[in-house]
Amino acid sequence: MISVHDQSGRFFSEEHDHRHCVATALEDAQAVCRERGARLTPVRQRVLEIIWQSHRPLGAYAILEVLSGEGHSPAPPTVYRALEFLLMHGLVHRLSSLNAFIGCTRPGHPGAGQFLLCTSCGTAAELNDTGIEHAIERSAEAEGFTSQVHTVEISGLCPHCRAA
C-alpha cells in the first residue's frame, strides 16, 4: 500500500494538494475492503474523503456539517456507524484528546500510532515509529498487560507554525 506521507516531511504547507491524499486513501481503502470482504459504501467512502481533505483531525459533527452542506440529511448515527467501520478496518484513527478522527497512513493496521498535533494550526502528522510501538508493547507485557489499542498523542508546534 502507498503511504500518503512518502513525501519529505510529515507536515504539509497550506498549498499542499490534498486531492492526491484523498485519491490514495480511497485506493487503499478499496484494497483493504476487497482483501477483507468488507463493503465501502458510498457514505463510508464520503466520510473517508471528508477526513482526508485536510491533515486536520475532524470531529463527527464537523463531518456531519459537511455532509449537510452538500445537501445530504444524515443523522448522527449514520456518521458514527461510518466512522466505526473505518476505525475497525484501520482506515482512520480516533484522537481521544480532540475527540476527532484523522486518516490512517498505514491502512489496515488498526490499534497503534503516534501523532504530532499542532496546537497552533490544528494539523496532525502520524509517525508510525516501530521503536515506540515496541517499547509500549514491552512495557505493557512486563506488567502482564496485553494491549489492544494504543495511540500516543504529542502536542506542540509544527515546523510551519514554529517558523512563523
CATH of the domain at 84: 1.10.10.10
Q: What is the pLDDT of residue 147?
A: 86
pLDDT per position as a tens digit, 77-86: 999 999 999 9
Question: 9 in a domain, yes or no?
Answer: no
Question: 158 in a domain, yes or no?
Answer: yes
Q: What residues of the chain score a pLDDT lower than 50?
A: 1-8
Which pairing describes strands 100-103 and 92-95: parallel, antiparallel, or unpaired?
antiparallel
DSSP state, residue 11: S
Question: 5 in a domain, yes or no?
Answer: no
Q: What is the pLDDT of residue 164?
A: 84
Distance CA 107, CA 156 (A): 25
Q: What is the pLDDT of residue 20?
A: 82
145 Cβ neighbours under 8 A, 6+ residues apart: none
Q: What is the pLDDT of residue 7?
A: 38
128 Rama sector, left if φ>0, alpha if ψ -120 to 50, beta otherwise? left
Question: 42 in a domain, yes or no?
Answer: yes
Question: 36 in a domain, yes or no?
Answer: yes
Q: How many Å is the Cα radius of gyration of the chain?
A: 16
**Inter-helix orientation angle 60-69/42-52, to 10°:** 110
Could you tell me the residue range of the domain that residue 98 belongs to? 18-163
How many domains would you assign to the chain?
1
Q: What is the pLDDT of residue 1?
A: 33
The residue behind cell 459537511 is 66
Distance CA 130, CA 141 (A): 16
Question: 2 in a domain, yes or no?
Answer: no
Q: What is the pLDDT of residue 31?
A: 95
10 Å CB burial of residue 35 (0-12, 13-18, 19+) is exposed
Distance CA 50, CA 87 (A): 15
